[in-house]
Amino acid sequence: MRKIIIAILLTLTLSLLAITPIILQKGTTRFLYAQECLENLSPSDYDTVKVYANVDGDTIKVIWKGGIEYVRLIGVDTPETVHPRKPVEYFGKAASLFTKLMLPPNEEIRLTYDWNPRDKYNRLLAYVWFKVKYQGKEYWILHNLALILNGFGHAYTVFYFRDDYRKIFLEAERFAREHNIGLWSYEVEKKVLEKLEKGEPFFEMSILEEKTEQKEEKTYNVNIVYIKATGRDEYIVIKNTGTEPVNLAGWKIFSEGGQWYTFPSVVLEPGESISVHSGPEASGALIWTRRYVWNNREDKAVLYNANGDVVDVYEY
């Protein structure tokens, strides 16, 4: 396989991080996609393959060069359904069905890649694209993104991948969470499975009717600079690296384990740092929880401002 980095014939700007939802249809299944991505993302330097079978939400089998290959989707993690040491996880069946509907057997799809062609299990690592028609034109849809935007998976940033896609995937996850889509919704998985099988919308149609308010554009020079993940007093350090004070009221920290912390009204002066503690012996002015938050070996923290925009991502 060619070891390549995707060359997209466009410049992705911050404006691409806005999500303007539209409804697309594949077969009888209606799903959400971002207008900005429909118009600006398409596969380049790709391999054309045929779908052989669905494994689960984020893994498929394809026919490639006369053989059968496993393909693990980059940058997305869906709940488990076939893990040998884990039970079937909540929304795993729905994620698997969504992928099966979008990528049915014998369909011709396109694969694009990052710099690592395979993982330690020898699976191909790829961005997977399928075709739909919208308003009389054909477009290539990035399935990795569609999974996240429709609430069937998380943005998976433990392993590094394209920075522009990483930002889009994180924004898609935020959108799905804020609009209660898929695994972020109040509906049980059984209901979503029924709607997928019947071709009914599994999301609220009112999402399309919301008027997008113009937010004041601000550049926050606030960063996560360190996470102490060992010991009985863990902590994460946030620093204002800019020249203006920033009030962190309403800002949030998200850990990959699913925990959230919301800041009270705290003004962070230029050059000043603040730490948020967790663990049985958590100390300091800001206590997240008396339980452990951070994984000792590897984890991810995402910092959001009060508008819900991603400000910084820290991984170790």
Catalytic entry in 110, 123, 162, 174:
123
Helix 189-198 vs helix 92-102: crossing angle, to nearest 10? 20
C-alpha closest to that of 289 among 314, 316, 265, 257:
257
Report the 10 Å Cβ neighbour count for 215.
Answer: 11
22, 33 Cβ separation under 8 angstroms: yes
Q: Is 80 an annotated catalytic residue?
A: yes
Catalytic entry in 36, 69, 72, 234:
72
Long-range contacts of 265-270 (CB under 8 A, 24+ apart): 268/222, 268/238, 268/239, 268/240, 269/240, 269/245, 270/240, 270/242, 270/243, 270/244, 270/245
144, 169 Cβ separation under 8 angstroms: yes
Question: 94: buried, middle or exposed (CB in 10 Å: 19+, 13-18, 0-12)?
Answer: buried
Q: Is 72 an annotated catalytic residue?
A: yes
Catalytic entry in 36, 69, 80, 234:
80
**β-bridge partners, 24:** 31
313, 301 Cβ separation under 8 angstroms: yes
Cα–chain-centroid distance for residue 26? 21
Catalytic annotation, residues = 72, 80, 123
